[in-house]
C-alpha cells in the first residue's frame, strides 16, 4: 500500500491471525485507501486558490489569467462591512461624500505661483478640512503628515515591519473650468449634482472619485476592526494637473528618505479603465507610461515695416518648419517591452472577435523570435494602428505643435516667433532620439534660409533658429513586471485576482499603457510594481467621463465598485507573500 510520503508493505492476513489482528489490518487498508482518494482534494484546498497553478506558469500561454482572489482572513465585522458596502445606506452616504468633494473648486493653473504666496492655493486647506470632517476614523487612526503645506500623506502602520508597505495614490487638484464654458455645462461644474445615476462636476472622474473611494474603503476597514500586517500609505498630491512638482515632487523624495529606495511593495494610482474590445471585456491596469518632451523653437529674423515685406519673414519660416515637422511623423513601433504587445497576445488567446490578420502577424513575430529592426517597418504595429489614433499612439511617438507666438503689431514685421512642440515618447525610444530628429528638421530650414542653428538651450542670436528643451523632459517609465513568478505571487497577480473577484472571470486582465503621465513619474525609485488603474466600471458611461472638458461626470456604480475594489485590494495585499 502507498502511504503519503513513503512506501509501506503490509503482509496479507493469514488464517492463524486473531480476529483482532485481522480487523486492524483491514482498518489500516481502509484508512490508506481513503487518504489516497482524498489527497488531491486536500492538496488543492490547502494551496492558495487565487494564484496561477504551476501548470499554467509553465505553459506556453502568453496571457495567463488568475482565479478571482477573495481575502481569506475574515471576521464577522469584516463580513458585515462587505455587506454594508453593497447597501443602499452606503450608496447614499457615498454620493454625499463625493458630491461634497466636487463642490470644493481645487483648481490648479499652469501659471501658479509659489505655494504660500499665490492665493489660488487657498482652496486646498478647505478641502483638507472637508476630508477630516468626512472621514473621522481615518483621521483618528492613521497618521497624517502635510508635505509642502498641501500634500496629504496618511500612514496606517502595520504590525509586521518586515513587510513592504502598500501605497495608494490620487490627487486633490482639478483642471480649471474656463469662464467661457460654464454655460455649456448641463449642471454647474462645481455643483456635485447627482441625477440618479451620475455625479456631475469638475474632478468627479479625475480624480476626486478615486481619492474619496480610497478614504471610504479605509474608513470602512477601520470601523470593521481591520488591523493591517502590512503598512498602508495614502499619498495625495495637489498639482498633478500641472506636472506635480510641488505635490508628488515633494512627497516621493520624502517617502524615499523615510523608507528607502525600492521600499514599497506596490503602488496604485489613477489611470486606465476597463473596456470592451474584440468581443471581450478587458481590465487594463497601466504598467507603463510614454515619455514626455517639450521643445521650444525660436525663429529670429530681421523686422521692418510691413509695407515692404521680404519674401519670407519669421512667421513664414516658422510655419514652414511646422509643416516639415508634421510631414515627418514617427512610424508605429511595438517594442518587446511595450505592454500593448501583451494586450494583443491576450486578445488573440481570449477574444472571440480578435482580427485574423493581427493574429497571423503575432504568430509570425513569435515564430521568428524577435521584432523587426527599428530601421524597418513594423507591420504588426502598422496593422494594429489602423484601429484609430487612440490606439496608434499607444506605440507611436506623438508630435503636436501646441503653441505659437509671433508679431506684436499689424504694421511691423515679426522679429521673434516662438513655437512649442510636444512629444510623448514611445516605449523603446528615448528623449535623445526625439531631440535629434527635431534638430535635424530644423537644420534643413536653417540652411535653406541661411540662418544659424543654435542647439538646445543655447543663447538666441540674430537671424537664427534656436532650440530649447524644457525641464519637464521625461523618459518612458520603467515597465512594471506582469509575468508570473514561479516561487510566489506577484503584485500584478494580486491586482488581477482582486479585479476578477469583483467583476467575474469573464473579465480578462491585460497590461495597459498610458499615453499621458500621472504623479507616479516621481515614484519610480520607490517600487518597480506601479499600476495606473481606475477600477470602477460603468458600462453606460462613454470613455473616461469627459475628463478635462465640459460635463465631466462619473457613474455612481463605478464609484461604489472602486470603494469595494480598494478595500479588497488592501486586504489581499495584506495577506500576500510579496
Which residue is listed with cell 504623479?
519
Among residues 558, 505, 506, the alpha carbon closest in space to that of 533 is found at 558
Mean pLDDT of 549-560: 95
Q: Does 114 carry a binding-site annotation?
A: no
Q: For residue 548, what pLDDT is reported?
A: 84
CB burial of 497-511 (b: ≥16 within 10 Å; e: otherwise) equals bbbbbbbeeebbbbb
pLDDT band at 25 (very low <50, low <70, confident <90, very high): very low
- C-alpha pair distances (Å), 280 with each of 5, 110, 394, 508, 562: 45, 40, 20, 8, 21
pLDDT in tens, 480-491: 999 888 778 999
CB burial of 335-354 (b: ≥16 within 10 Å; e: otherwise) equals beebbbbbbbbbbbbbbeeb
DSSP, res 121 = G
Among residues 213, 78, 80, the alpha carbon closest in space to that of 135 is found at 213
pLDDT score of 286 more than 90 = yes
Dihedral sign for Cα atoms in the order 358, 360, 363, 367: negative
Q: For residue 544, what pLDDT is reported?
A: 61
pLDDT score of 473 more than 60 = yes
* All cell numbers assigned to 422: 510636444
Q: Does 110 carry a binding-site annotation?
A: no
pLDDT in tens, 68-86: 999 999 999 999 999 999 9
> Which burial class, exposed, middle or buried, applies to 76 when counting CB atoms under 10 A from its CB (0-12, 13-18, 19+)?
exposed
Bridge partners of 466, per DSSP, are: 298, 454
Whether the CB-CB separation of 200 and 211 falls below 8 Å is answered with: no
Domains of the chain plus CATH, in order, are: 2-36 (no CATH), 76-272+515-575 (3.40.630.10), 290-469 (3.30.70.360)
pLDDT in tens, 412-445: 999 999 999 999 999 999 999 999 999 999 999 9
Q: For residue 59, what pLDDT is reported?
A: 55
- The residues carrying an active-site annotation are 173, 240
Q: Does 487 carry a binding-site annotation?
A: no
Q: In angstroms, rounded to a whole number, what is the distance separating the alpha carbons of residues 354 and 362?
A: 11
Mean pLDDT of 43-64: 50
Q: Does 187 carry a binding-site annotation?
A: no
pLDDT score of 476 more than 70 = yes
Q: In angstroms, rounded to a whole number, what is the distance separating the alpha carbons of residues 513 and 464?
A: 39
Q: For residue 7, what pLDDT is reported?
A: 28
Give the residue with greater pLDDT, 236 vs 49. 236
Mean pLDDT of 546-559: 92
Beta-carbon-side half-sphere exposure of residue 352 (alpha carbons within 13 Å): 4
Rounded to a whole number of angstroms, the distance between the first and last alpha carbons of the chain is 40
pLDDT score of 264 more than 80 = yes
Q: Does 335 carry a binding-site annotation?
A: no
At 107, which helix (H) or strand (E)? none
- C-alpha pair distances (Å), 516 with each of 289, 422, 505: 7, 12, 29
* All cell numbers assigned to 219: 474608513
Helix extents (H) in 47-87: 54-57, 76-84
Give the residue with greater pLDDT, 439 vs 33. 439
Q: In angstroms, rounded to a whole number, what is the distance separating the alpha carbons of residues 576 and 436?
A: 46
For residue 149, which phi and psi values (nearest 5 degrees)? 80, -55
Q: For residue 3, what pLDDT is reported?
A: 27
Amino acid at each position: 500500500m502507498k502511504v503519503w510520503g513513503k512506501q509501506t508493505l503490509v503482509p496479507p492476513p493469514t488464517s492463524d491471525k486473531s480476529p483482532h489482528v485481522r480487523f486492524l489490518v483491514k482498518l489500516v487498508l481502509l484508512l490508506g485507501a481513503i487518504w489516497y482518494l482524498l489527497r488531491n482534494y486536500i492538496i488543492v484546498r490547502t494551496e492558495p486558490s487565487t494564484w496561477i497553478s504551476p501548470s499554467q506558469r509553465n505553459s506556453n500561454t502568453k496571457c495567463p489569467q488568475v482565479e478571482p482572489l477573495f481575502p481569506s482572513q475574515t471576521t464577522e465585522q469584516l463580513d458585515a462591512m462587505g455587506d454594508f458596502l453593497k447597501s443602499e445606506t452606503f450608496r447614499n452616504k457615498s454620493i454625499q461624500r463625493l458630491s461634497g468633494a466636487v463642490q470644493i473648486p481645487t483648481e490648479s493653473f499652469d501659471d501658479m505661483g509659489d505655494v504660500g504666496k499665490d492665493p489660488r492655493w487657498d482652496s486646498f486647506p478647505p478641502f483638507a478640512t472637508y476630508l477630516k470632517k468626512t472621514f473621522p476614523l481615518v483621521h483618528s487612526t492613521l497618521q497624517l503628515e502635510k508635505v509642502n503645506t498641501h500634500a496629504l500623506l496618511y500612514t496606517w502602520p502595520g504590525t509586521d515591519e518586515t513587510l513592504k508597505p502598500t501605497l495608494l495614490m490620487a490627487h486633490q487638484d482639478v483642471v480649471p473650468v474656463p469662464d467661457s464654458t460654464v454655460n455649456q455645462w448641463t449642471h454647474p461644474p462645481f455643483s456635485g449634482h447627482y441625477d440618479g445615476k451620475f455625479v456631475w462636476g469638475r474632478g468627479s472622474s479625475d480624480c476626486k472619485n478615486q481619492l474619496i473611494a480610497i478614504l471610504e474603503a479605509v474608513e470602512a476597514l477601520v470601523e470593521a476592526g481591520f488591523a493591517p500586517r502590512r503598512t498602508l500609505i495614502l499619498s495625495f498630491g495637489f498639482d498633478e494637473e500641472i506636472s506635480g512638482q510641488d505635490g508628488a515632487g515633494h512627497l516621493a523624495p520624502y517617502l524615499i528618505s523615510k523608507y528607502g529606495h525600492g521600499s514599497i511593495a506596490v503602488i496604485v494610482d489613477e489611470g486606465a479603465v476597463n473596456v470592451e474590445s474584440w468581443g471581450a471585456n478587458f481590465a487594463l491596469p497601466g504598467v507603463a507610461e510614454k515619455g514626455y518632451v517639450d521643445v521650444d523653437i525660436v525663429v529670429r529674423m530681421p523686422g521692418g515695416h510691413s509695407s515692404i515685406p521680404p519674401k519670407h519673414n519669421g512667421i513664414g519660416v516658422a510655419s514652414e518648419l511646422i509643416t516639415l515637422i508634421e510631414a515627418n511623423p514617427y512610424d508605429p513601433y511595438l517594442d518587446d517591452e511595450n505592454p500593448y504587445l501583451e494586450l494583443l497576445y491576450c486578445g488573440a488567446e481570449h477574444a472571440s472577435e480578435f482580427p485574423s490578420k493581427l493574429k497571423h502577424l503575432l504568430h509570425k513575430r513569435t515564430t521568428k523570435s524577435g521584432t523587426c529592426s527599428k530601421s524597418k517597418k513594423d507591420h504588426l504595429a502598422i496593422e494594429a494602428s489602423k484601429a484609430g489614433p487612440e490606439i496608434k499612439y499607444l506605440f507611436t511617438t506623438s508630435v503636436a505643435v501646441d503653441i505659437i507666438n509671433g508679431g506684436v503689431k499689424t504694421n511691423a514685421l515679426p522679429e521673434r516667433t516662438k513655437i512649442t512642440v510636444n512629444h510623448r515618447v514611445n516605449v523603446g525610444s528615448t528623449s535623445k532620439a526625439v531631440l535629434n530628429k527635431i534638430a535635424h528638421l530644423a537644420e534643413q530650414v536653417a540652411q535653406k534660409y541661411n540662418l544659424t542653428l543654435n542647439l538646445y538651450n543655447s543663447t538666441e542670436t540674430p537671424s537664427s533658429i534656436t532650440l530649447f528643451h524644457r525641464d519637464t523632459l521625461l523618459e518612458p517609465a520603467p515597465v512594471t513586471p506582469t509575468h508570473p513568478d514561479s516561487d510566489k505571487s506577484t503584485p500584478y497577480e494580486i491586482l488581477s485576482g482582486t479585479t476578477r473577484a469583483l467583476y467575474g472571470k469573464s473579465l480578462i486582465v491585460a497590461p495597459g499603457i498610458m499615453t499621458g503621465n500621472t504623479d507616479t513619474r516621481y515614484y519610480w525609485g520607490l517600487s518597480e510594481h506601479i499600476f495606473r488603474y481606475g477600477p470602477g466600471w460603468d458600462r453606460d458611461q462613454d470613455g473616461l467621463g469627459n475628463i478635462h472638458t465640459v460635463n465631466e461626470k462619473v457613474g455612481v456604480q463605478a464609484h461604489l465598485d472602486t470603494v469595494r475594489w480598494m478595500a479588497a485590494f488592501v486586504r489581499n495585499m495584506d495577506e500576500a507573500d510579496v
